[in-house]
A and B are shown apart, each in its own frame.
Chain A
């Protein structure tokens, strides 16, 4: 452009084209603009993801207002029907909504598992919004969920900390007044970890000072081992111990013995 201006207007304006200053300004602007763009490329990407996060939390807030606020309050401050969610963290939301426990169908002894009501993106949005309300446990890192921890240590920790409620084989068990500790077979590693760190409902909290992330990973390893390895003794009968096993023995073993005794003493025809 500068060359064109020079050739057309050079005789009248002498050495300098009247458009030269404009052209210079343009070049300068382009150069600084380009440099600025080059320098700030990285930060503009950050700005874009920030917008995404804002979008996520905004969506989460909307979903919350539509689905959760009637019990937990519009600001998640809690009402008579539901506890406050300030400071419960993303892990609590991911566990409660991700296992279908929330939203609750009806008030009962405890929220029960049911088909998950939201998509993964929606759960992530809800979790992201609740996480902005106050500091709380985050969704666990994938490296603790692979199930490659110390199996024996995990089994010992499970027996000490978990087995009294969840049964030594993770089959679950009864608590008081209609409450129960659910079975742990088939529960995803992420949800097991989140349950330990958030203590859903009547389950106590096992924070990282009590059971370190490595120990939690070991416990998950043990549970996954139980899940993937059948009992060497044959059918587990629900792993419920003396109740189901006793019932089986009383009905089938004693029944068989009675039948054989009757046959032994009956006269041949």
Chain B
């Protein structure tokens, strides 16, 4: 390393003397800024003052000692403050003390090592050169020789039939992977799945989570029910179905509802059911204000006005929440008249509405 004429064999590190011309640069402009090089070497206090040097040595040792203390502390804390089952206070204390011990143990080593290298190890600036990207001429020539010999021995360019056979086999080989990877796609048409939910004519509205059906008389004015289809738990994928079929049930005074044409029989005495899945990106919209009749989506603050069929009055959502047409059966339970009349949730490519 002490030599001034380039790198010593076996090391990539060389003392910086003059910025070498960067290899791989095709155009060298005349007005390029000259590399100013490193600032002149300035000796550190620990280089000149032996007292300071010893002081730094002690400091580094103290950092390593702190690391040792932290590691021992972590072990001791783990034994002295164990986790008692069911006692959150003990979990919290144990976690905190272990974390402090680990932190001290690792930071002590890190800070000590860095401080050592900065204050006591050689302080001269160095530059580490990359290897030349181009090989030596003899390596290049040898490679070309190998290729030529290979071609001559195998007859790759001469025996066209075999060569083309190999190329054909290589092209066809990945095709079998296509068959395998195709199975990662949904087995069923996702568009159909997105357009339909568990709701259907006569499916009872039930409470989330216990699945007890709801009577119309249970829903007093100002009430909110979080609703699932009664047959949800019989479904083979209850969570996936719930993600589409979740409904919020509210009761307003019938005169407060502005019902559009064709939806006159979708509510029952002011009881309305709307999809809980936001039409923006699908968060559950359930923050119902019973005086303003506004529904707020907590993710991006879209607001829907329940009195106007969940029209968007604020925020990024584009479409109103889909309404579930409901009525009562002969026993007084609330039932769906049909599935939603449009796909619930956010937009997707194949959505026509």
A interface with B by C-beta (< 8 Å): 156-157, 160-161, 164-165, 173, 175-176, 179, 181, 199, 201-207, 209-210, 229-234, 263-264, 267-269
Contacts and interface: CB of A to CB of B under 8 A. Distances in A.
A234 B92 contact: yes
B209 A165 contact: no
B207 interface: yes
Contact of B223 (A164, A173, A207, A267): A207
Interface stretch (B129-137, B282-290, B333-341): B282-290
A232 B92 contact: yes
Contacts of A232: 88, 91-92, 95
A202 B289 contact: yes
A234 B95 contact: yes
B218 A207 contact: yes
A204 B223 contact: yes
Give 6 closest A-B pairs by Cβ, nearest first. Answer: A209-B218, A204-B224, A202-B289, A232-B91, A268-B118, A229-B88
Interface string B297-326: 010010100000000001000000000000
B157 interface: no
Given A156-B209, A230-B92, A232-B95, A202 B291 contact: yes
Contacts of A176: 289, 292, 294, 296, 301, 303, 314
A210 B95 contact: no
B96 interface: yes
Nearest to B224: A204
Contacts of B215: 209
23 contacts: A156-B209, A161-B224, A164-B286, A164-B287, A173-B298, A175-B289, A199-B223, A199-B290, A202-B291, A203-B290, A204-B223, A204-B288, A205-B220, A206-B224, A207-B218, A209-B217, A209-B220, A210-B223, A231-B92, A233-B95, A267-B123, A268-B119, A268-B123
Nearest to A215: B210
Interface centre among B88, B89, B119 (most CB of A within 10 A): B88
A204 B209 contact: no
A229 B207 CA distance: 30
Interface centre among A160, A199, A210 (most CB of B within 10 A): A210
B151 to A, nearest CB: 53
B25 to A, nearest CB: 27
B94 to A, nearest CB: 9
A246 to B, nearest CB: 15
Given A160-B208, A164-B298, A204-B223, 13 more contacts: A173-B298, A176-B296, A176-B301, A179-B289, A199-B290, A202-B289, A202-B290, A204-B222, A204-B224, A209-B215, A229-B89, A263-B114, A267-B118
Contact of A268 (B46, B95, B250, B288): B46
Chain A interface helix/strand/loop/mixed: loop
B219 to A, nearest CB: 8
Category for how many chain B residues contact A:
35 or more
B73 interface: no
B15 interface: no
Contact of A199 (B218, B222, B301): B222
A205 B123 contact: no
B45 interface: yes
B296 A175 contact: yes
A84 to B, nearest CB: 13
A268 B30 CA distance: 37
Given A156-B209, A164-B298, A268-B46, A201 B89 contact: no
Contacts of B294: 176
B290 A205 contact: yes
A205 B222 contact: yes
A161 B226 contact: yes
B44 interface: yes
B225 interface: yes
A210 B225 contact: yes
Contacts of B296: 175-176
A201 B292 CA distance: 10
Interface in B22-70: 44-46
B93 to A, nearest CB: 9
Contact of B226 (A160, A165, A268): A160
Interface in B220-246: 220-226
B123 to A, nearest CB: 7
A157 B210 CA distance: 10
Nearest to B223: A205
Interface in B263-300: 284, 286-292, 294, 296, 298
A160 B209 contact: yes
Contact of A210 (B45, B88, B218): B218
Contacts of B96: 234
B90 to A, nearest CB: 9
